[in-house]
């Protein structure tokens, strides 16, 4: 049985912030990442939460990410915002971009945010969630180091490359939150199994010859299994075009790994579209979303993408989150 300790969301944020600063991250860059870490733990996505703090700290110290980076914002066109993350954390670059993106989308009806030269943005749905809270339809893309082979091939050319769509609801929270990668499972889950010495289910990853494997270490040296076969490869290519080509970021085939200390900054990218539903559908958007969600919730046992995270989030806000003590020990050692 795994030994755990319950922490409040405020405690998780403070612990993350202090550890990141101790590792050499500026307070301006540490706060957005710490806030996202707490939100990720609240949503039950532990693989992207506190478990990543020691990795972030290691990457600041080895130079894979610049903890002191200052993102540079520009507006080359009336509806377009670009941010050069300067090889720093994506979270502070996204925050800086959102400060302009949100009011611009409300004013114009639609606006785009392009981010390049950034690092792992964590859970992509955390960012689109925030756009939906502002009453906007949020669409996001982020690319990653290559880990998925093309159909008929065995050499990875694109990353697990998630996309996310968050639709605003009438209560100020997302009515629907889709957040999924192009692979059957997030690579971080395979990495988590490798760290814990656990086998992975068949269908998560492939060996170097393209054969299924239950050994996470073999899978990490091979490729991730695309979700839905060639359709998953298509999604990965779509995201690669949006998050790398459309931003001028580094393609997954040239990006250094998000794990380990080999290579310099990955310089990957993110791309967001924020759309005001009132500009395209008026009051009808809320009606359509309400009818759509009701058609699913009215079915016994059926649920929408995002329902699980939402219920866990509500519990975490009052009861806190049970965190692996081994993870806490690693993080607390950074503060010594």
**Cα-Cα-Cα-Cα dihedral of 272, 278, 279, 285, to 10°?**
80
Q: Does the annotation mark 48 as catalytic?
A: yes
288: number of Cβ within 10 Å: 13
Radius of gyration of the chain (CA): 19
Catalytic residue among 13, 16, 41, 48: 48
Q: Answer for the pair 140, 272: CB distance below 8 angstroms, yes or no.
A: yes
Q: Does the annotation mark 28 as catalytic?
A: no
Tell me the two tokens of residue 1.
């049985």
Residues in CB range of 156: below 8 A, 6 or more apart: 146, 147, 148, 149, 223, 224, 252, 253
**Cα-Cα-Cα-Cα dihedral of 107, 111, 117, 121, to 10°?**
90
Q: Does the annotation mark 26 as catalytic?
A: no
Q: Give the 3-state secondary structure of residue 238.
A: helix
Catalytic residue among 13, 41, 47, 147: 47
Q: How far apart, in Å, do the first and last CA atoms of the chain sit?
A: 28
Catalytic residue among 181, 189, 193, 223: 189
Q: Which residue has tokens 């300790």?
A: 5
* Residues with a known catalytic role: 47-48, 189
């Amino acid at each position: 049985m795994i030994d755990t300790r319950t922490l409040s969301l405020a405690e998780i944020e403070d612990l993350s912030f202090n550890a990141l600063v101790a590792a050499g991250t500026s307070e301006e860059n540490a706060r957005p990442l710490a806030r996202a870490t707490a939100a990720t733990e609240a949503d039950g996505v532990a693989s992207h939460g506190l478990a990543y703090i020691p990795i972030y700290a290691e990457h600041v110290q080895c130079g894979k990410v610049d903890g002191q980076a200052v993102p540079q914002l520009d507006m080359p066109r009336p509806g377009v915002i670009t941010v050069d993350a300067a090889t720093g954390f994506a979270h502070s670059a996204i925050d800086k971009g959102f400060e302009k993106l949100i009011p611009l989308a409300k004013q114009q009806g639609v606006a785009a945010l392009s981010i390049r030269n950034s690092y792992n943005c964590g859970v992509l749905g955390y960012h689109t969630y925030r756009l939906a809270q502002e009453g906007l339809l949020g669409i996001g893309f982020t690319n990653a180091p290559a880990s998925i082979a093309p159909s008929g091939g065995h050499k990875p050319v694109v990353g697990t490359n998630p996309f996310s769509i968050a639709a605003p609801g009438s209560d100020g929270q997302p009515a629907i939150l889709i957040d999924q990668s192009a692979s059957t499972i997030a690579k971080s889950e395979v990495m988590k199994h490798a760290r814990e010495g656990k086998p992975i289910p068949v269908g998560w990853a492939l060996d170097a010859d393209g054969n299924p494997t239950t050994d996470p270490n073999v899978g990490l040296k091979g490729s991730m299994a695309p979700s839905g076969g060639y359709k998953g490869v298509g999604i990965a290519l779509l995201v690669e075009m949006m998050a790398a080509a459309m931003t001028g970021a580094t393609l997954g085939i040239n990006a250094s790994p998000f794990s380990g200390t080999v290579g310099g900054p990955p310089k990957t990218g993110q791309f967001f579209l924020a759309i005001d539903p009132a500009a395209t559908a008026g009051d009808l958007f809320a009606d359509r979303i309400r009818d759509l969600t009701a058609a699913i919730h009215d079915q016994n046992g059926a649920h929408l993408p995002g329902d699980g995270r939402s219920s866990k989030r509500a519990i975490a806000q009052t009861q806190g989150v049970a965190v692996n003590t081994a993870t806490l020990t690693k993080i607390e050692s950074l503060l010594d």
